[in-house]
Structure 1
């Protein structure tokens, strides 16, 4: 992808269902869970490289022994860093105490991180400081085992201020307004309440305080706690939680915006943000990894039993389509096919742009995530040519010569690896002019891959800001002397901000927004822009359910083709020789390619939760007033 977009995040929960001795005997190590968690996090590192965290809980330990461990990192390679710390600690304990080597009970008693319940998280910081304090998992500690709560998630709340105020009304004093902390404290409040009520009930039944503890663990209804806590959540989320005594949960938002998958057998329960991570790490078939339904939670009790519970009433399914276009690993069976379909479905627009001149057109892609849609585009080009060849051969009939046949069959799509992405160039030079020259060399080209006067079609998965296209890619592609450069986005025009975990919060960053603004200026229709601003202002104090997305009116006067044409003009660098054309996927084709992920608010402005409309209007106000800040 030419424009890097950050997004939060990736989660993994592993519950070992057998005693640790079982894994030692079968797999040769009591660290089976730790090893599997390392692989789960590595297989989801595409979801976050700003930070990583790991937590584990040991079951049934004696009083006075540590049962919770956590390690977090925001180093350059955070996953490797946390597992280096874990391995160093384990190895030093084994070196200092050789008697632990073959004694699993002693390992569990004395060595941290070796638990039956494990939680992993990889993070991209969408905003705020990338400090260790902002790295998941978050920990809410208490001397009562049941009241300890560890939370990590892939989420963003649009109503964090409202949730924060709710906590204050409950008498709490939250230490910060971050959505993760707010969510954790909200769940923690109802967890405390449930534990206190159970304790009171069990005492009434005549049990001692000591006898009450295991009974609380047995009777605690995690799904009821989640129903109370999540009632007012507005956002996209897949959040995981561990309770100190050994219960665990993963809850998904009612629109299914953020993904979650699970797998269960007699050895493990695994939950993760991505299906292929589970498939690869645990070597299980596609069909055995299930998707967690919107609004549902998988709840794993301390005794190892697990159940799917409906926590919130599901809304219209609006799973994030960007997961399929770009974020998720392309190794997923469905995602691989969907990305190929995106390339296939955009091909008719390409054909029109090159006037059906495939013979003088080179097809390529921008490394690396666009490669799969490129295969779909090329396959469709081959299908088109095969149909043409068939028509030509049938028209010539039985009189066709060998030479004619060879000439017809010899025409095929010209496929070249034109763009090459070099390692990211890092520099301390801050002058913009110097920086631009360095940015221009992030991509390189294969010289001789394009003939002078050819059309060059290059596909990318999406075009967000277009900065790298203008400053680097188009400049360097122009050195090959093509007649026309056609940049194809397998995604539609990104027009609206995201507020559910993708780092696309400012309207003025989007090249499609800039293009529409330029068209308003060209057409002397800036009064429309002012009217939209005034309408947005009138809604600032409105309740989220009453807010209308007036920013749609900003794009309404123009067709998608007009905006694409203007985008091509804006992205053409000064002095470029080739004509530049930009082609975007249509919304209809996106839905055809990705039928299960119809969440398209960043393309259409159709937000799945009321908070989305408030965010987009705030983003427009910020743009109009020149406030360089996020809308949520």
Structure 2
């Protein structure tokens, strides 16, 4: 999961992109980068850290130009090294700079093809750099001479769709030409476009979430459709074309559960309203499975579960209380690399108000339970604060399967619900009772708001991988690589390349 933004304006865009990245900071806290285009020249600055810490006045002054892109990142493929912060740049056939939200499932094979067929060198283990080189190669194949037009770009994206697998929402700046954006044929990761009318003409912004547009005075125009490519030249002319043969919309359900800001609208569905619906459906299940009279009070685990908890309490006619206070200067524990760091940060992040727990049977509502580390700590905090009974409810279904499309839950043994029954998970997090949302209820929570949304990418809940290329062997390889990191030597690279090239042949 990352946040991306691209802008074509009639004035300097460095501040616009910076402010947009602040509004998308929840999508990644590992690194941030901005690249701008002035004439035929790029300027770029990127580093590890939060947006406010990465950019100083001197960095902003070094980013002139009326068009540019930016990204906030947390790593899912590659590593957390500063070299893999985005955007990435290539200088042939045109100067192209790219930022990507998502995860390619065949990036290793593509990297081999880059080496063998396309004669392109990929310098990192980032799938985003692979994606950039595929795009650059296909643009080179689609163009003749030194000219570039939208039809050539759309042809390049069409071929890219046939080569690349996985999830990808992309913004790319082409030096001296304009901004290219496109979304994978399944529409897994979100991307939307907005505009702003000025005395000098129309300005455009593309971003991962509508909140970035609206927070900066841009009017939301629409979502980029699955498989669609949009090109905006430096004069503000917009071109678009469907570039996939059989696009289908399968937005990521976990965006609505946790990742997106509640004030965003994704593919025509309000994130906030969908979370209210999750609370409504969860209340129906609790009413079926237990007596509401056994519950004294409903409490959210701040912040993303608050709408669901409020609606649940309302539907069950129970008192709603804020029992945990969040320290807003601690990062989101879900996207912190490393289990030890997550565990350490939970009690720094949350503090219990003991008077709200003492002697009560408490229903705690969280957006989801992934690894279980946070849930176990929170249950213990409730008990330490005097709770008589602790019931835990998840607004999402059990996370049983790895996510390979850009969310940091790639290995089965890290998922507390994998291979366990609900009762076993309940014992693991030491709760007195546990209630999960049903998968179909989760999907209805979103489709109720936009009936056009009929299918979702919900693989972490139901094990269905919409791209159709994920096998047990693939998951085994991902898990082995994650659990057995080792330094990459030149001999190891050559050996692996020779092995894989033999398989290709």
**In which range does the TM-score fall when normalised by the shorter chain?**
0.7 to 0.9
Q: Distance in 1 between matches of 2:157 and 2:185?
A: 13
Q: Distance in 1 between matches of 2:309 and 2:345?
A: 28
Of the candidates 384, 389, 394, which is equivalent to residue 484 of structure 1?
389
Please state how far the C-alpha of 1:131 moved relative to its aligned partner.
Answer: 1.8
CA 435–290 in structure 1, closer or farther in 2 if over 3 Å, else same: closer
Structure 1 equivalent of residue 280 of structure 2? 344
Matched, 1:585 2:437: yes
Deviations 1:171-199 (A, max 9, x none): 5142335311211111112223344x2x2
CA 36–626 in structure 1, closer or farther in 2 if over 3 Å, else same: closer
Q: Distance in 2 between matches of 1:84 and 1:353?
A: 57
Residues 396, 442 of structure 2: 8 Å contact kept: yes
Of the candidates 31, 43, 56, which is equivalent to residue 69 of structure 1?
43
Matched, 1:300 2:239: no
Of the candidates 361, 384, 387, which is equivalent to residue 455 of structure 1?
361
What is the TM-score of this pair, normalised by structure 1? 0.68
Structure 2 equivalent of residue 599 of structure 1? 457
Of the candidates 262, 268, 271, which is equivalent to residue 193 of structure 2?
262
Please state how far the C-alpha of 1:419 moved relative to its aligned partner.
Answer: 2.0
CA 84–353 in structure 1, closer or farther in 2 if over 3 Å, else same: farther
Residues 458, 488 of structure 1: 8 Å contact kept: yes
Structure 2 equivalent of residue 570 of structure 1? 428
CA 378–263 in structure 1, closer or farther in 2 if over 3 Å, else same: same
Q: Distance in 2 between matches of 1:436 and 1:130?
A: 19
Q: Distance in 1 between matches of 2:298 and 2:425?
A: 21
Q: Distance in 2 between matches of 1:434 and 1:184?
A: 32
Query: 1:169 aligns to what SS in structure 2?
Result: helix
Matched, 1:56 2:30: no
Q: Distance in 1 between matches of 2:37 and 2:167?
A: 27
Structure 2 equivalent of residue 244 of structure 1? 175
List alignment gaps of at least 5 residues for structure 2.
332-338, 448-452, 486-505
Kindly report which structure 2 residues correspond to 1:224-623, keeping only aligned pairs within 5 A, or say none. 224-264=155-195, 265=197, 266-284=201-219, 288-332=220-264, 334-352=270-288, 354-357=290-293, 361-382=296-317, 413-422=318-327, 424=330, 442-452=349-359, 454-470=360-376, 472-515=377-420, 563-572=421-430, 580-595=432-447, 596=453, 598-611=456-469, 613-614=470-471, 616-620=472-476
Residues 179, 231 of structure 2: 8 Å contact kept: yes
Residues 50, 123 of structure 1: 8 Å contact kept: yes
CA 295–373 in structure 1, closer or farther in 2 if over 3 Å, else same: same
Q: Distance in 1 between matches of 2:136 and 2:419?
A: 44
User: Hey, which of these two has a bigger chunk of helix by percent?
Assistant: 1
Residues 507, 620 of structure 1: 8 Å contact kept: no
Residues 50, 78 of structure 1: 8 Å contact kept: no
Kindly report which structure 2 residues correspond to 1:164-203, keeping only aligned pairs within 5 A, or say none. 164-176=111-123, 177-195=125-143, 197=144, 199=145
CA 498–326 in structure 1, closer or farther in 2 if over 3 Å, else same: same
CA 165–128 in structure 1, closer or farther in 2 if over 3 Å, else same: closer
Residues 456, 482 of structure 1: 8 Å contact kept: yes
Residues 37, 65 of structure 2: 8 Å contact kept: yes
Query: 1:619 aligns to what SS in structure 2?
Result: helix
The alignment covers a number of residue pairs equal to: 462
Residues 443, 476 of structure 1: 8 Å contact kept: no
Residues 191, 225 of structure 1: 8 Å contact kept: yes
Q: Distance in 2 between matches of 1:424 and 1:381?
A: 33
Matched, 1:85 2:58: yes
Query: 1:267 aligns to what SS in structure 2?
Result: strand
- Computed over aligned residues only, the root mean square deviation of the Cα atoms, in angstroms, reads 2.7
Please state how far the C-alpha of 1:267 moved relative to its aligned partner.
Answer: 2.5
CA 354–321 in structure 1, closer or farther in 2 if over 3 Å, else same: same
User: Hey, which of these two has a bigger chunk of strand by percent?
Assistant: 2
Q: Distance in 1 between matches of 2:191 and 2:400?
A: 27
Residues 153, 238 of structure 1: 8 Å contact kept: yes
What is the TM-score of this pair, normalised by structure 2? 0.85
Structure 1 equivalent of residue 82 of structure 2? 132
